[in-house]
Structure 1
Amino acid sequence: MNNKALLEKANSAISQGDYEGFLIFCTDDTKWTFVGDQILQGKEEVRQYMAKTYLEPPKFIVEKFIAEDDFVTAVGIISMKNEEGKTVDYSYCDVWRFQNGKMAELTGFVIEIKR
């Protein structure tokens, strides 16, 4: 399976609320950098982030994938509920680096869409 297909499968798991199924696609030392916000180091920090942030499974609309070498970039819209239960839409660009068939690093740019 190529890296783009791996990311699509991982995103499908997360959209179904299968966070452990998503984490199977990550290296143990995965690093997530949300530019201008926070850095998560390792599966346990990602697991805690998901438990806190994804009150319901997020919904992804991927507008495009760009894949080259060990990198896949996904651009689109992610919708998720905030603490008040209101659905908020965000524009995102995720740059994933793969290592040995797993997601090793994420650099994410996430901006709330004001309506």
Structure 2
Amino acid sequence: MSEQKQMVEKYMDGFRATDHEKILSCLTDEVVWEMPGFYLHNGKAAFDKEIENPNADGHPDIKVTRLVEEGNIVVAEGAVKAKMKDGSKLDAVFCDVFHFTNGKISKLTSYLMFSKQP
């Protein structure tokens, strides 16, 4: 597995454990995180504020189903599930596009689609 894919795996492991330090160690200082239609964050401090959902109850279950790499970009597809404090559940699929600069994530574009609740 390439170093960039390993960095994406480390990043995902950080989210699985809600480990801010691990996640932030994967990022450049000027990192940009965009979820089109929802937010655009610039820099590690802004990124850090978005790591945890205050309504979550425990750590998310994140499954990466595919990693595709071309040049300085890695695309990760997968699914995320989490329990919320109000008893509801988050059930979604994602596609994250990671851009790398000098071995670290410099830009992340996250596409998220929520599953319909019965």
**Take 2:107 and 2:68, find their aligned partners in 1: how far apart are those partners?**
16
Q: Deviations over 1:56-86 (max 9, x none)?
A: 3222111111011100000110123345242
62, 65, 77: which one aligns with 1:63 = 65
* TM-score, structure 1 as length reference: 0.89
Match of 1:48 in 2: 49
Match of 1:4 in 2: 5
Match of 2:95 in 1: 93
Superposed counterparts of 1:4-43, under 5 Å: 4-43=5-44
Q: Secondary structure at the match of 1:50?
A: coil
Paired AA for residue 43 in structure 2: G
Q: Give identity over the alignment, percent.
A: 27
Give unpaired runs (5+ residues) of structure 2.
Answer: none
Q: Secondary structure at the match of 2:62?
A: strand
* TM-score, structure 2 as length reference: 0.87
**Take 1:46 and 1:71, find their aligned partners in 2: how far apart are those partners?**
19
73, 76, 96: which one aligns with 1:74 = 76
1:54 shift after superposition: 7.3
Q: Is contact 2:18-2:52 (8 Å) kept?
A: no
- Report whether the alignment pairs 1:108 with 2:110: yes
Give unpaired runs (5+ residues) of structure 1.
Answer: none
Q: When you count helix as a share of all residues, which structure comes out higher?
A: 1
Q: Is contact 1:54-1:80 (8 Å) kept?
A: no
